[in-house]
Amino acid sequence: MKIAVSGIGIVSCLGIGMEANRAAISRQESGIVPKSRFLSAPSAFPVGEVPFCNADLALRAGLGERCLYSRTALLGILAVQEALADSGEGKDLRTGLVSGTSVGGMDRTEVFYADYLSDPAHGRLRDVAMHDCAASTLAIARHCGIEGYTTTISTACSSAANAILAAARLIRCGIADRVVAGGTDVLSLFTLGGFGSLMILDKKPCRPFDADRAGLNLGEGAGYIVLQREDTLQKEPYAYFAGGENANDAYHQTASSATGEGCYKAMHDTLRKAGVAASQIDYVNAHGTGTLNNDLSESRALCRLFGDKVPPFSSTKGFTGHTLAAAGGIEAVFSVEALRRGVIYPNLNFFRPMEETGLVPVTESREAPLRYVLSNSLGFGGNCTALLFSKN
């Protein structure tokens, strides 16, 4: 059974919708800014923040500006609306939703919690009502009219990629005809504090794969693709889902193994199952967060899989920041766009290859006929996922 990608939807710091994102990337303009405008307390680190307040987002999503949905839900709704509209009406199809998130409604919970800690009778309950991860998924399904199988995945930074894997399985097994899959996450003091405490936030714009990289920039956003059984398509699809695998690094709760075992296994198993040779991969959208540990580990996995013929690769996190659970969705959207338009997105802020591998990513936007694109997502808990998309 062939599974096609019939729609894409994206919200990132580059803007709302694919057009805004494409325009910014073609101008090589990063969306990362020195300071957050909307966080409830200041942060010293640059962020990839979606440049609209919650009331604006709600209005754009067709909700009242006094809507109490979490920002996570609002970003998700905007991206899913775009993806579904792009895919076509499909009213006779059983449409499902698999959404990834790592923070859920944490951005509102931390506002609540500050008041709650001063007095347990304080704190507005509506701020904590959407705390759990399922709340954003259920709000998206309700607002976008999705009535089929709906669930939520949270495996840290590989959540959205895993949602896409789960969606493909639901279609293969006949549980849905079409599934919107991806993820949504927002900036929060919780994650800024968390990654800050691990000393992996860069005070400057992140430099994925560069020898002098010094950490990641947190971002926020949502990215979803519509996977659909080929015989139900209403229009020419953008690309096909050619496979994907999840593997565990089984090395450490947060750090990646120096040899990138999990990442290697995820990529390797994906190619093997899909029956695609390493030499057929035309582009890799790498995880490439900009941390010392991730980029070295991922580079080693790439070298191990591809030998001295590592295909053109880049990390798009210099544009969007690391959007955590949404990253795999946003990067799936970019991977599909790459296949559709025959273009490889550049890796920003790269100056000098790391000594250990000497790998050099694509640094200028490049046109090329692409057949197979691989996208990596690697998360805490050693969670590694590779997705493979094909032109035909």
Partner 1 sequence: MCYIEAVATHLNLTHDIKEVVPDATLRRRMSRIVKMATAAAFECTGGVQGIAALDAIVTATGLGCLTDSERFLEQIHRTGGQMLNPTPFIQSTFNTVGAQIALLAKNRCYNMTYVHRSRSFESALTDAMLQLKEGDARRVLAGAFDENTPTQHHIMERMGFWRKAEDGEGAVFTLLTAEATANSMARVSRVEFLSSPLSEQQCRERYATCSDGQVWRSLDKTVYPCRSALRFAEAVEEVRKGVPEIVVYNEYFGKEPTVIVLQCL
Strand duo 383-390 + 239-248: pairing: antiparallel
Active site residue 67: no
Stretch of residues binding partner 1 (CB under 8 A), selected from 16-24, 165-173, 228-236, 299-307: 165-173
Nearest to 191 by CA among 182, 204, 178, 200: 200
**In degrees, to the nearest 5, what angle opens at C-alpha 80 toward C-alphas 74 and 84?**
150
Q: Does 291 bind partner 1 (CB under 8 A)?
A: no
- Of the candidates 13, 133, 287, 303, the residue annotated as catalytic is 287
**Least distance between partner 1 and beta carbon 170 (Å):** 7
Residues 189-208 within binding reach of partner 1 (CB under 8 A) = 189-190, 192-194, 196-198
Q: Does 91 bind partner 1 (CB under 8 A)?
A: no
Nearest to 45 by CA among 381, 322, 325, 326: 322
Helix segments in the chain, DSSP class H: 18-26, 54-60, 71-87, 106-118, 133-144, 159-172, 189-197, 261-274, 292-306, 317-320, 327-341
- Of the candidates 67, 206, 303, 322, the residue annotated as catalytic is 322
Q: Does 253 bind partner 1 (CB under 8 A)?
A: yes
Q: Does 166 bind partner 1 (CB under 8 A)?
A: yes
> For partner 1, which is the closer residue by CB, 109 or 314?
109
Q: Does 258 bind partner 1 (CB under 8 A)?
A: no
Q: Does 149 bind partner 1 (CB under 8 A)?
A: yes
Interface with partner 1 (CB under 8 A), residue total 65
HSE-up of residue 136 (Cα within 13 Å, Cβ side): 36
Active site residue 303: no
Which residue matches tokens 């000594």? 355
Q: Does 241 bind partner 1 (CB under 8 A)?
A: no
Stretch of residues binding partner 1 (CB under 8 A), selected from 23-31, 70-78, 124-132, 311-319: 124-132
- Of the candidates 67, 157, 206, 263, the residue annotated as catalytic is 157
Find the binder of partner 1 among 169, 268, 340, 391 (CB under 8 A).
169
CA distance 106 to 110: 6
Find the binder of partner 1 among 28, 43, 259, 363 (CB under 8 A).
43
- Judge contact between 256 and 378, C-beta under 8 A: yes
Residue 176: phi and psi, rounded to 5, are: -145, 155
Q: Does 120 bind partner 1 (CB under 8 A)?
A: yes
CA distance 242 to 223: 19
Which residue matches tokens 């139900």? 232
Active site residue 287: yes
Residue environment code for 272-302, b if the CB has 16+ CB neighbours within 10 A, otherwise e: eebebebeebbbbbbbbbbbebbbbbbbbbb
Stretch of residues binding partner 1 (CB under 8 A), selected from 52-60, 135-143, 177-185, 347-355: 135-143
- Catalytic (active-site) positions: 157, 287, 322
Residues of this chain that bind partner 1 (CB under 8 A): 41, 43, 101-102, 104, 109-110, 113-114, 116-117, 120-121, 125, 128-129, 131-135, 137-138, 147, 149-156, 162, 166, 169-170, 172-173, 175, 189-190, 192-194, 196-198, 245-254, 261-262, 265, 379-383
